[in-house]
Amino acid sequence: MSLASIPVKTPDHIHGYRVLRHIGSGAASEIYCVFEPKTNKLYALKQVLFDDKQDKDDRFLVQAENEVKISKKLEHPAIRRIHSVEKVRPKGWTRTEVIVLMELVDGTPLEKMLVGTSVPEKVRIFRVVADALAHMNDKGYVHADMKPTNVLVTENGTVKVIDLGQAHPIGKPKERIQGTPGFMAPEQTKVEPLNERTDVYNFGATMYWLFTGREVPTAGPQSGRGGAEVPPPANSLNPEVPPALGELISVCLQPNEHARWKNMHAVVRQLDKVLAEMGENAA
């Protein structure tokens, strides 16, 4: 039996929160739907356990604290709220526990919407995501890890951008390569300063995947590829994709950041044009 197939044992309570069900698993973490008796409110609770002797695992705490700090500066309805982060080390334990309390979003990740979702509906979803990223950029941050698992869509069509753990101030480089292969911008692989166009690229790679089922080959020192290339237009791989949308995505994926759309606001305008040409609207 693989580790992935081992069922997670759901606790009854976690630090005063009543656990209702297990939602999912992440990097060294488990996520639960919990109920807080004092307020009668439901939350998503991320529980991270790591060994104090392994300094590298401190990154989970750093990312959690980063999520809370940035979340408090954002006000967009399509960005999941992060309420608090708490570091707990029970007496006698050799492991530290990090608890992150988040807005509960009962949604489906984009990675599970590759099939069965119409092109207009996909475009409308991306239009909301683009607007959320534009808001985040306006506040001085890039998401820096946009990918299909970081967008949730509820049954009533509500869209939420999640996971701000990799978010970073605009104009500053990261200390090391961070991101997800298949969605990273070239400047991320070179540890160069990040900016609005970094999110444009990540966003374009996410659109490309949802419309074609293919990832964009990542270029960089660890990929074995000398330089980034623009992949075949999405409309050449999927005839249901309008040429205008294929062009929009290709511009997002230009290796030279200055050849991409200037910012996410420009992408929003382009998506509005695509919707209009399809006889649809953003609502």
What are the structural domains, with CATH classification, of the chain? 8-102 (3.30.200.20), 107-277 (1.10.510.10)
The tens digit of pLDDT for each residue in 27-83 reads: 678 999 999 999 999 999 998 877 655 555 567 777 888 889 999 999 999 999 999
For the chain, give the percent of residues with pLDDT over 90: 67
Longest dimension (CA), the chain: 64
The model's confidence at residue 195, banded by pLDDT at 50, 70 and 90, is very high
What pLDDT sits at residue 283? 58
Bridge partners of residue 129, in order along the sequence: none
Residues 6+ away with beta carbon under 8 Å from 230: 250, 253, 254, 255
Residues 6+ away with beta carbon under 8 Å from 10: 19, 21, 22, 32
Q: Which pair of tokens denotes residue 199?
A: 């999110």
Position 267: which residue type? V
The tens digit of pLDDT for each residue in 18-42 reads: 999 998 887 678 999 999 999 999 9
d(CA 148, CA 160): 12
pTM above 0.95, yes or no: no
CA 239 to centroid of chain Cα atoms = 27
d(CA 134, CA 140): 10
Phi, psi for 83 (deg, rounded to 5): -85, -45
Mean of pLDDT values over 204-210 = 97
CB of 19 closer than 8 Å to CB of 26: no
* Count of Cβ atoms closer than 10 Å to residue 3 Cβ: 5
Residue 227 has pLDDT above 80, yes or no: no
